[in-house]
Copies of this chain bind each other. A is one copy, B any other.
Amino acid sequence: MGMHVVFSVGTAGSGKSLLTSALREWLEEKGWGVYIANLDPGARNLPYEPDADIRSIIDINELMEKHGLGPNGALILAVDMAAARLHEVLQDIDEASPDYLLVDTPGQMEPFVYRPSGPLIVEQLPGTSKVMLFLMDGWLVSNPLNYVSIQLLAASVRLRFPVPFVQLLTKADLIEDQVDRVMSWSSRPSELEDAISSSSDGEAYLMHRRLLSMLARGGYIEKPIPVSAVTRAGFLSLSSALANILSGGEDLQD
C-alpha cells in the first residue's frame, strides 16, 4: 500500500497533538509504520517526537523579529511559507515512505483553514489517500449552544478541504457522564432542541433552533466518534472508520 495521510484540525485546545501522539502509538502497536509531521510553527512541548517539522525550517521568533510582526502575523506567514516549502518539510518522509503520515496542524485553526495555504498543503501533500479528522472539544460541545456553533464551524471547515471528513468528540474520559447525552444530539435533533431550550431563551433560543433545524434538514448533524487520547476509548471505532475511508475497509485493523 502507499502512504495514508491523516490530518487533524480543530479549535485551539481540542486535543489535536495529544490525539496525534496516541494514534501513532496505537497504529504502531498494530504493526504499521507511522510518521508524524508537525505543521504548527508555534508549537511548544509537543507530546510526541515529530519525524517532519515545520519548525526545522521556520523559526517563528525570528519571523516576528525580522519582519516586525506580532504572533498572529508571524503564524500566518509561517504557514504560508510552509506551503511554499512543503518538500523541504517532508524531505525525510518521502524517503521513509511510512504506511501512515499523521499531520498535526497549527494550534489555532485559522491560519491553516481560512487562508489559501492550508488547502494547498492538503492538496499537495503526497499520499495514496487522505482523510481529515475534525476534533470537537468534548468540554466545549457538551454545552448544547456551543454544539450547534461548532457544527456550523465543522461544515465551514469541511468545505475548505475536499477530502473525507471524520468528526471526533475528544476528551471522552473527562466528560464521561456527558458522552451519551452529546451523542444522542446527533441522532435525535429533538433532544438537542430540548437541551437548547433549557440553556437559552428569547432570541438566542430561536436562533439556535433555527440553525439547528437547518443543519438537521441538510443532514449536517453528524455522529462524531467519542475518543480519549488518554484511555484510548473509541480508538477501535476510529481505526475502523479510517480503514473504511483510507483503504476501502481492507486489513487496517488487527
Contacts and interface: CB of A to CB of B under 8 A. Distances in A.
B111 A108 contact: yes
A23 interface: no
Contact of A156 (B76, B111, B150): B150
A76 B74 CA distance: 16
B148 A159 contact: yes
Contacts of A218: 210-211, 213-214
Contact of A69 (B44, B72, B207, B219): B44
Given A44-B69, A110-B110, A159-B152, A211 B204 contact: no
A106 interface: yes
A140 interface: yes
Interface string A1-34: 0000000000111000000000000000000000
A75 B75 CA distance: 12
A47 B201 CA distance: 39
A218 B212 CA distance: 10
B70 A42 contact: yes
A71 B75 contact: yes
Given A11-B114, A152-B156, A159-B145, A72 B75 contact: yes
Q: Do most interface residues of chain A lie in helix, strand or loop, or is the interface mixed? A: helix
A57 interface: no
A144 to B, nearest CB: 11
Contact of A211 (B73, B148, B155): B155
B107 A108 contact: no
Contacts of A210: 218-219
Given A44-B68, A44-B70, A115-B12, A75 B158 contact: no
B220 A214 contact: yes
Given A218-B214, A220-B214, A72 B153 contact: no
B149 A159 contact: yes
A69 B217 CA distance: 42
Contact of A44 (B11, B73, B107): B73
A115 B218 CA distance: 27
6 contacts: A75-B108, A114-B150, A156-B156, A159-B207, A211-B220, A213-B218
A140 B111 CA distance: 13
Contacts of A60: 70-71
Contact of A110 (B11, B42, B115): B11
Contacts of A157: 149
